[in-house]
Structure 1
Amino acid sequence: MYELINKDVIFQFLGDDPELIRPMLEMVLNNNLTELEELDSLYQKGNYDEVRIKVHKAKSAMGYVGASSTKNLLQEIEKDVANTYPKNISALKAEIEIIKKEISDFLKSM
């Protein structure tokens, strides 16, 4: 049903309590994914450390929702922002859009 997130991983990390799952997923949606969408601006300004910090922070969130391919992509970017970000930004943007939709769909199904 989901391409990138994994419902089983979400339940493993957060249990099956909607009162806990909902705010955590909303936080990922509204904070982590929003910050990832802002990386272009930071990168273009040469704020590589800030890009690295936001990427590092988002890795955990991607782990909590079971988006392992996105987590791996973020790890790759984190290693060498200046060189790997431009090579991976298209893939990252595409995955962010998929994850946003999947989390929204998951929240609606709860």
Structure 2
Amino acid sequence: MYDLINKDVIFQFLGDDPELIRPMLEMVLNNSLPELDQLDALYQKCDYEEVRIKVHKAKSAIGYVGATSTRKLLQEIEKDVPNVYPKNIHSLKQDIEIIKKEITHFLAEI
């Protein structure tokens, strides 16, 4: 049902109480993922350090929702923003959109 997020990982990190899960997932949806949407503009300005900082911050949030492949992609970008980000921008954008949809769906289920 879910391509990127993993319900078991969410429950492992956050327990099975919807009152605890909901705010954390809303934070990812409303803060962490929109910050990743800003990466293009920062990259275009050659602000690689700010890209690295935002990617670093997002890794934890992406880990909490169990999106392991996206977390690995963020780790690779963080290591070498100028060279790795442009090669992986399309994949990252796709993952962000999928994660947004999956979190929204998951929130509707709990």
Give the corresponding residue for 1:64: 64
- 1:61, 1:21 → 2: CA distance? 12
Query: Which string of whole-angstrom CA distances, capped at 9 and with x for unpartnered residues, describes residues 47-81 of structure 1?
Result: 10000000000000111000000000000000000
Give the corresponding residue for 1:88: 88
Unaligned ranges ≥5, structure 1: none
Query: Which string of whole-angstrom CA distances, capped at 9 and with x for unpartnered residues, describes residues 25-64 of structure 1?
Result: 0000000000001100000001100000000000001110
Give the corresponding residue for 2:44: 44
- 2:6, 2:91 → 1: CA distance? 19
Give the corresponding residue for 2:78: 78
SS at match of 2:3: coil
Q: TM-score under structure 2 normalisation?
A: 0.99
SS at match of 1:16: coil
Give the corresponding residue for 2:13: 13
Percent identity between matched residues is 78
Give the corresponding residue for 2:108: 108
Q: Which AA in structure 1 matches 2:71?
A: K
- 2:42, 2:19 → 1: CA distance? 34
Q: Which runs of 4+ in 1 moved over 3 A?
A: none
Task: Give the superposed CA RMSD.
Answer: 0.4
- Paired residue total: 110
Give how far 1:20 is off: 0.7
Q: TM-score under structure 1 normalisation?
A: 0.99
